[in-house]
Structure 1
Amino acid sequence: MSNYFTAVVRTDLVTRVEAWLRERGSSPSEEHVERIGPDTTLVVVSAGISDCLAPGRFFRGTAMSPEHGAIAYGPRGWAALPDEARRDPHGVAGTFVLVEWDAAQVVVRRDLTGSVGLAWTSGDGITAASDSLLLLVDLRRWLGLPVTQNTEHLLARAFPNNKGAQQPCEETFVQEVSYAAAGRGLRIPLDTLRGEQDGARLTDRLLDAEVDEVATLRAAAAFVVRTMTALVRAPHVDVRLSFSGGYDSRVLLGGALRGGVLAELPVAVVDRDAGHAPDVVAARGVADRYGLVLGDGTRRSKGDELRPDALGTLASTTLGFYDTVFLEPVVQRGAVGLNGIGAGLLKGGWGWRSISELLPDAEKFVAERAALRAQSAKGVRAAGGEPGWADASELLYAAFRNGIHGAGVSIAVTMTTLRPLDQVALARLGHARVDGRSPRERREAALLYGAQPSRMTGLLALMDPELATLPYETPQKALSPGLVAERLAAAGGPLTPSEIDQPVALLGSPSDVPAGPSQLGLGAARHVGFHGPFQGPELLDLARRGAESVEDAQARLVYEGLLRKADQHVVRRGVEPRYAGPSLGKLLALAMIAGP
């Protein structure tokens, strides 16, 4: 990222927008400018834009449709998907952005779980959308439009755990910039040029459909097997599995095992503790059993390598929406990374509880907690739920964390990463009631499928019962052979050849998808002082600038505390920025927003 920037502009503003593009170093080869109405011009900016365009359409990324047994790369792949999938792009998973236009409107959509950020801002004669907060703020300043800090959001994002480490709702650090919940997009009518929400809310997709537990688990497991088989066997596709030894990535490993391709699958393990971390020990135990060589997932072919300006890429991408300060250092166009994130849609990520239970009263972080509770309530309502519901925490997780957390550390430099468990059918099953009541009846007291113990066991058992019972990183996660056998029987027994013999269809090619940020994004980052490598002291200088930019007195005290914490981790202890906690990312975001 910025993987994309688009603006619908009244004609009298076009020269000012074009002047901004030139001033920030945007390359004309990365721009598409088209007159789409008598007084309206469309601007789209992306690296490799010529590989993303079709008449009336810009598509960049990877679409995944378990319902249709297909994975689509780039515009060719998208066009080859069944009409039913393309008619409801909000319902398609993956990692993609889609902009379509005609004589009446422009619509901006992205994958179902929100892996690609979608934020927008409007002013007189213009609406702009992007996955980059920086670009939207910088454009507003260029046009002389106000940029106002959102104090409640600042306080909420300062809460010291992953509940505040990304967007909690449709509001952002800047009052004039909005963010779309997962499953939703943006519509811009040409007669008003004002952005409007587009697409069904998550609850409309999850709560009211009939759910068959056995059919859902078997179809989801079969899709994982078929996906792993297709990707590993596909010629000229470099694939790598990020493996932690836990339930989620173990399902994907099991898919390769069940499909007979495990020996051909490169498997990567992140080792921060010289092989002593519990998850690495568990991963090595699995590797020893199946004869795997664990490494960094080195690709099987070289391809096009991109070594991005790390700090500039971060500033032009997820910074401000997601607080992890990390980027893949080397990326190849068309390389396919696989991870198990998405399982939280079934088993939950935050404990299946109301927002007040998720953020209970406590003596510490009183202001931050109150603000995050208020913002999270807005986020749950944006997903179509109520903050008192028993699954409010998981609606919030699905709407604002699951997608960006799954893609956040790589999406700035690749849009071909896949999460085969990112399936809406699994989310429906997780949110299904098991108390016999109708979906919305007294949902604050609902008993829900995903809240029951060991909900990943069925998927693991369908892959390979022995794999499911091998040791995990903690004894509490252990699955006994008896439990695994019980869940396998309840799921209808082992998968049959007819369920898994047909690999998913790979439409288009991963090499069709451009990799890396636009020159516009990097230029805007340079303008605000974000360029070059990650270095502790330099990062702290920027972080200090972020703390000093906070206007509200109470919020400034809070962010000064975050600055001390970031200094202790990054400078005094020498901790890598990625592992220094989210404090640094929040401060850098504020420095970026503050401008040069």
Structure 2
Amino acid sequence: MGEFVRLGWNRDDLTLERDFFGNVRLLTTTGRGFVAASDSLLVLAALRRALNDSVNPHEEVLTARAAPSQIAGQQLSPDTIIEEVRFVLPGTNIRIDIRQLAVTEVGTTAAELLRSDAFVPGEVRDAAISMTRTISALSCQNGWSSVLHLSGGLDSRAVYAAAVAAGKQQDLRFISRLRSGDVTARDNVVANRLATTWGTARSSVDDVAEWRESRPEDGLRLWASGLAGVYDGLGPLGPRRRRRAEFELFGLGAGAHKGAWGWTDLNSLAARAAKPGAVRDALSAQMAIAARALGVDPEDEGASEVYYFGFRNGLHSAAEHIGLHLTGVSPLQNVGFARRGHARTREGAFGGQGDDILALTALLSPEAAVFEYDEPRHAWTLDDARDRQRDLGGPLRSAEIAPYTTYGSPDDIPQGPSRLSLTIAERAGYPDSANPTAAFEYAEANLDLLDGAVRETYREVLANARWRLAKADGDIFGAELPLSRLLMLGVFRPAG
């Protein structure tokens, strides 16, 4: 779990490694006399232009990304919207031959990473221990505190239960989400009740009325500098805490275990994402390329969740903060727990289709597991939760909640957005405001960067974005999926 980038080099080659789940994006490009890697498609496009090399729209990828579904809301394969840039999958690092200026991807396929030949009960306890010891270790960092993004749902509840098991819940602060008023009001109410019951204070910036003021001052430029073309969501435009010495804890990443797209084959997944026609055909073609890279048969039951792991889990988990800091932690991103989710039970189902997240929560804190949720999640009583805790080995022992040994200091981790990337975004014309008027003016102008059928496809994307904005009463987040796809086209703009 966690987020990092590590660079090593010698006379012959350079090696770039990052976290197992791919929370840190990695893209590569080569050209006449150069090779480059970055977490930003925008930066690589600008570099290629500065070196007088080509930046061509990948028409199949662009067409596939027009599907009106979150299934197509991020990278779809190793191909990107720029023909000359490649996306590197989770579990894979790169080695650059300095003399040959050649990139080699080093690692194993997602299918191999997630393969498990047995459904082992001990993996739930191992995950609980890892989560609890991690939270204990974070609490030992001098001058630093942790804030948990807490909802009324199950995934962040499991993380909160780990804090309870470690006895650290009163050391936490929490922030809850309320992006769209009454729609998520219940979610917010339950999060507050849960935290109040166990003595966890709200973060002082967790005030819905102040969210707009707490957004980064660079508006759409911050989004464009990292997420444009890679993830179709406005991520860092959401509420941000600005404290430097603070870890962010998330329930995100649980999809690596429990899945998100229905444990189905890729043809069925593409059919859910787009109606018959050019967009679905392009999406299916991209999914076939992705399947080869992932090492999975596209017709396999469960291929959808290997695909989710490869192209959405990490990107989605880190989207809202990764451009600002590398001190986010998603404790449910656990390798053994992910493998358990993809293993078959005795009944033939995938492990992730069961109640493992709830069982994990019960192991950590039976009381937290059965506390109210935003909607009915289970029919367990407290006795049921205690029985499950007993079945999984009983409450964690003192050695199992002891903090991990840590090295170095989080004070040394660079924070803040990349000024280089923000400058490139400014020169590409991205607005410094996140208001809908500025965003839609820029988005519509980007249509002129496309030709032919792709351009007409994106006219439909623009119409859908306007409809969604109206439906959301002018809230830009209501239109973020199609709007992001129009905004990402700015990577094709020459520097102003």
TM-score, normalisation: structure 2: 0.91
Q: What corresponds to 1:262 in structure 2?
A: 169
Q: Quickly say closer, same or farther: Cα 1:416–1:527, change in 2 above 3 A.
A: same
Matches of 1:536 and 1:273, distance apart in 2: 16
How many residues align structurally?
486
Q: Quickly say closer, same or farther: Cα 1:461–1:362, change in 2 above 3 A.
A: closer
Q: Quickly say closer, same or farther: Cα 1:572–1:391, change in 2 above 3 A.
A: closer
Task: Please show how residues 94-243 of structure 1 align to structure 2 within 5 Å.
Answer: 94-207=2-115, 211=118, 213-243=120-150
State the secondary structure of the residue aligned to 1:331.
coil
Tell me which of 256, 259, 264 is aligned to 1:348.
259
Q: What corresponds to 1:529 in structure 2?
A: 429
Amino acid at match of 1:313: L
Amino acid at match of 2:226: T
Q: Quickly say closer, same or farther: Cα 1:171–1:273, change in 2 above 3 A.
A: closer
State the secondary structure of the residue aligned to 2:292.
helix
Matches of 2:109 and 2:139, distance apart in 1: 35
1:560 equivalent to 2:459? Answer yes
State the secondary structure of the residue aligned to 2:139.
helix
Amino acid at match of 2:355: S
Q: What corresponds to 1:338 in structure 2?
A: 249
State the secondary structure of the residue aligned to 1:360.
helix
Tell me which of 223, 227, 251 is aligned to 1:318.
227
Q: What corresponds to 2:480 in structure 1?
A: 581
Q: What corresponds to 2:345 in structure 1?
A: 434
Gaps of 5+ in 1: 1-92, 300-304, 437-445
Q: Quickly say closer, same or farther: Cα 1:383–1:361, change in 2 above 3 A.
A: closer
Asked whether the 8 Å contact 1:547–1:591 carries over to 2, the reply is: no
Matches of 2:462 and 2:174, distance apart in 1: 37
Asked whether the 8 Å contact 1:214–1:492 carries over to 2, the reply is: no
Q: Quickly say closer, same or farther: Cα 1:206–1:362, change in 2 above 3 A.
A: closer
State the secondary structure of the residue aligned to 1:336.
strand
Q: What corresponds to 2:336 in structure 1?
A: 425
Gaps of 5+ in 2: 208-213
- Residues 153-176 of structure 1 deviation map (CA, whole Å, 9 limit, x = unaligned): 112111122211110110000111
TM-score, normalisation: structure 1: 0.76
Q: What corresponds to 2:211 in structure 1?
A: none
Task: Please show how residues 239-258 of structure 1 align to structure 2 within 5 Å.
Answer: 239-258=146-165
State the secondary structure of the residue aligned to 1:507.
coil
Q: Quickly say closer, same or farther: Cα 1:577–1:252, change in 2 above 3 A.
A: same
Amino acid at match of 1:376: M
- Residues 459-506 of structure 1 deviation map (CA, whole Å, 9 limit, x = unaligned): 011111121112222225554446534532432222222322x21223
State the secondary structure of the residue aligned to 2:4.
strand
- Residues 382-434 of structure 1 deviation map (CA, whole Å, 9 limit, x = unaligned): 12212112221111111111111111111111111111111111111111123
Asked whether the 8 Å contact 2:41–2:491 carries over to 1, the reply is: no
Asked whether the 8 Å contact 1:181–1:400 carries over to 2, the reply is: yes
Asked whether the 8 Å contact 2:147–2:203 carries over to 1, the reply is: no
Q: What corresponds to 1:484 in structure 2?
A: 385
Asked whether the 8 Å contact 2:172–2:201 carries over to 1, the reply is: no
| Deviation, structure 1 residue 333 | 3.3
Q: What corresponds to 1:546 in structure 2?
A: 446
Q: Quickly say closer, same or farther: Cα 1:388–1:126, change in 2 above 3 A.
A: same
State the secondary structure of the residue aligned to 1:262.
coil
| Deviation, structure 1 residue 109 | 2.0
| Deviation, structure 1 residue 127 | 0.7
Amino acid at match of 2:133: R
Asked whether the 8 Å contact 1:187–1:198 carries over to 2, the reply is: yes
Q: Quickly say closer, same or farther: Cα 1:429–1:481, change in 2 above 3 A.
A: same
Q: What corresponds to 2:400 in structure 1?
A: 499
Which one is further off, 309-318 or 127-136? 309-318
Matches of 2:48 and 2:299, distance apart in 1: 37
Task: Please show how residues 384-395 of structure 1 align to structure 2 within 5 Å.
Answer: 384-395=295-306
State the secondary structure of the residue aligned to 1:240.
strand
Q: What corresponds to 1:278 in structure 2?
A: 186
Amino acid at match of 1:192: Q
Asked whether the 8 Å contact 1:251–1:459 carries over to 2, the reply is: yes
- Among the aligned pairs, what percent are the same residue? 33
Matches of 2:100 and 2:344, distance apart in 1: 42
Matches of 1:574 and 1:308, distance apart in 2: 23
| Deviation, structure 1 residue 587 | 0.5
Asked whether the 8 Å contact 1:266–1:297 carries over to 2, the reply is: no
Asked whether the 8 Å contact 2:176–2:188 carries over to 1, the reply is: yes
Tell me which of 275, 280, 283 is aligned to 1:364.
275
Asked whether the 8 Å contact 1:240–1:297 carries over to 2, the reply is: no
Which one is further off, 95-104 or 123-132? 95-104
Amino acid at match of 2:141: A
Q: Quickly say closer, same or farther: Cα 1:573–1:399, change in 2 above 3 A.
A: closer
Amino acid at match of 1:564: A
| Deviation, structure 1 residue 220 | 0.9
Amino acid at match of 2:490: A
Matches of 1:195 and 1:214, distance apart in 2: 40
- Residues 234-257 of structure 1 deviation map (CA, whole Å, 9 limit, x = unaligned): 320131000012111101111111
1:382 equivalent to 2:293? Answer yes
- Residues 57-108 of structure 1 deviation map (CA, whole Å, 9 limit, x = unaligned): xxxxxxxxxxxxxxxxxxxxxxxxxxxxxxxxxxxx4212222211111122
Matches of 2:192 and 2:83, distance apart in 1: 48
| Deviation, structure 1 residue 592 | 2.9
Amino acid at match of 2:37: A
Aligned Cα root-mean-square deviation (Å): 2.5
Q: What corresponds to 1:45 in structure 2?
A: none
Q: Quickly say closer, same or farther: Cα 1:334–1:306, change in 2 above 3 A.
A: farther
| Deviation, structure 1 residue 580 | 2.4
Q: Quickly say closer, same or farther: Cα 1:199–1:308, change in 2 above 3 A.
A: farther
Matches of 2:215 and 2:178, distance apart in 1: 24
Amino acid at match of 1:104: D
Amino acid at match of 2:374: E
| Deviation, structure 1 residue 293 | 3.8
| Deviation, structure 1 residue 539 | 0.7
| Deviation, structure 1 residue 335 | 2.2
Q: Quickly say closer, same or farther: Cα 1:574–1:594, change in 2 above 3 A.
A: farther
- Residues 480-533 of structure 1 deviation map (CA, whole Å, 9 limit, x = unaligned): 446534532432222222322x21223222221111233321221121112412
Amino acid at match of 1:464: S
- Residues 280-312 of structure 1 deviation map (CA, whole Å, 9 limit, x = unaligned): 23323323433444455579xxxxx99552322
| Deviation, structure 1 residue 149 | 1.2
